[in-house]
Structure 1
Amino acid sequence: MNIKQWRRRLSAVLFPPLVWGLIQVIWKTCRIRDVLQREHLNAVIESDQAFIPCYWHQQQLFCVRLLLDVRTTSKKLNLGYLISPSADGNIATRMFANQGVHIIRGSATRGGAQALREIYTAIRQQNVSPIITPDGPTGPIFQCKPGVAMIAHLGQAPIVPLAYAASNYWQLRSWDRFVIPRPFSTIVVGVGPVVNVTQADAKDGYARVCGEIEERLQSISEHCQQVVNKGKS
């Protein structure tokens, strides 16, 4: 084993616990002040129907926190996660597998035939609700790829858009400008009305659905930021 391989294996072992520890500090010190329009999420969970939680790649920390919190209180939510087959994906897999989340490795858009089959099976046979970031895993930022709509169509599952805003945060220089709330920040999470996919949408390459998802996520993000800003004044 050469030095590069040794470093890669060492990082795979040490990095996930360190990242998870940082996430735990942020989750425990930040306060979710409000969940806007939570009734949209409650309604789809109470219907006992699998659905697709959907949020931008940069906004993972507190969108997934909300879903994990809901999962601990509702036996009806069987949460899943579509994770890319990359080094970052390996880290995410190690972290979320310990949370009882159904992990599916693959991409919904690039070489993802196997992932699509696994997601379809998870949704239709196991009632799993798979989290999907529609601009992931590599962007462009805030551009919805058709994979999420294709999965929703095949699985006959509604899409539930989510976003959040933080009163104080760091922002990475990554492609997604990933947001990391500073400890002791105030968080506002928002949920939007479900987006449904029809047979007609498949004929136009899901362009309508992608446009609607982009508009909903932008609207929810702006609403959350407005509420956070009011709390600062």
Structure 2
Amino acid sequence: MLKKLKQGWKNFSYRCFAFLIATIGKALIRILLATCRWKVHGLEKYIKIAEKEKCIVMFWHNRLALAPFILYHLTPQFIYAAFISNSRDGELIGRIVRSYKTGRVIRVPHHSRHEALREMIRHVNFKKSIAIITPDGPRGPRYKMKPGIALAAIETGAYVFPLNWMATSFFTFKTWDQLRLPKPFSTIEFFFGEPIKFSSDVPLNIAQIYLQKSLKE
């Protein structure tokens, strides 16, 4: 009983900590981006397709710091659903995503890839929202495309949009993904890449390679 109480308190404390960090982090990113110059590429085509079709947005895990803010700021008309693992790291990311009005979080088992994939396919097929995925998450290897997103794209027939950003100067953190954050007063370019759509007979490994090449590092 005592052990359960301690674990419950530990989980509650971490959720409070995650909420605090997410709130502060969101405010700091907003201030940071206000000092930067933005350039956006490919937005019109993305909006045109996303208004009518099933879509998945993918970006590398180390670009995660800006993605929720940018998607909300540039496309507030869309609802986004982030597939996040049931890990402690996932709790923090989930708090950030949910802090935006158009952000939804779907928690998936950290150690059950098949269940997570089924949930992703089910969600995209119902077209309740646009799925956002980090294909090298939740723990890497960095810049290594996992097959799940390729299989989801083949099974659902959804358009996959690579999302990336580059900054003239940025901080790199000592995390497994080498998380990036633009420095104040830098110039940031955001890229909505060309949409990718696979037919149902495309081999999984070919689709995976194609998606890997579509995301610049």
Is the structural similarity TM-score above 0.5?
A: yes
The question of 1:41 aligning with 2:9 is answered no
Deviation at 1:207, TM superposition (A): 1.4
- Number of the residue aligned with 1:29: 35
Separation of aligned partners in 1, 2:178 and 2:148: 22
Match of 1:210 in 2: 208
Between 1:77-86 and 1:134-143, the stretch displaced more is 77-86
Query: Matched residue pairs, number?
Result: 210
Write out per-residue CA displacement over residues 18-70 of structure 1, whole angstroms, 9 at most, x where no aligned residue. 222322222333231x2223344133224x11200111111123343332123
Q: Which runs of 5+ in 2 are unaligned?
A: none
Matching residue's letter, 2:210? E
TM-score by length of 1: 0.79
The one-letter amino acid paired with 1:17 is: T
Letter in 2 for 1:23: I
CA distance in 2, matches of 1:83, 1:13: 16
The alignment status of 1:61 with 2:65, answered yes or no, reads: yes
1:10 shift after superposition: 4.7
Write the deviation string for residues 150-184 of structure 1: whole angstroms up to 9, x where unpaired: 22223221111111111221001111111011122
Mapping of 1:143-158 within 5 angstroms?
A: 143-158=144-159
- Per the alignment, residue 224 of structure 1 pairs with none
What's the CA shift string for 1:85-128, capped at 9, x where partnerless?
11121012122113131211126x95134433433333222431
TM-score of the aligned structures, taking structure 2 as reference length: 0.84
In structure 1, the partner of 2:168 is 167
State the distance in 2 between where 1:85 and 1:15 align. 18
- Other structure's SS at 2:215 match: helix
- 1:11 Cα deviation from its structure 2 partner: 2.3
Paired residue secondary structure (1:208) = helix
Runs of 4+ residues deviating >6 angstroms: none
Identity over aligned residues, as a percent?
26
Given the alignment of the two structures, is residue 200 of structure 1 paired with residue 197 of structure 2, yes or no?
no
Q: Which residue number corresponds to residue 178 of structure 1?
A: 179
Indicate conservation of the 8 Å contact 1:71/1:79, yes or no: no
1:88 partner SS: helix
Alpha-carbon contact 1:81-1:132 (below 8 Å) kept:
yes
Distance 1:101 1:8, change over 3 A: closer
Q: Give the aligned residue type for 2:31.
A: V
Is the alpha carbon distance of 1:12 and 1:36 closer, same or farther for their aligned partners in structure 2, counting shifts above 3 Å? closer
- Relative to structure 1, the CA distance from residue 98 to residue 63 in structure 2 (aligned partners, 3 Å threshold; closer, same or farther) is closer
Question: Which 5+ residue runs of structure 1 have no aligned equivalent?
Answer: 222-233
In the alignment, is the contact (CA less than 8 A) between 1:52 and 1:159 conserved in 2?
yes
Tell which deviates more after alignment, 172-181 or 8-17: 8-17
Contact 1:81 1:101 (C-alpha < 8 Å) held by counterparts: yes
Summarize the Cα distance change of 1:10–1:132 in structure 2 as closer, same or farther, 3 Å threshold.
closer
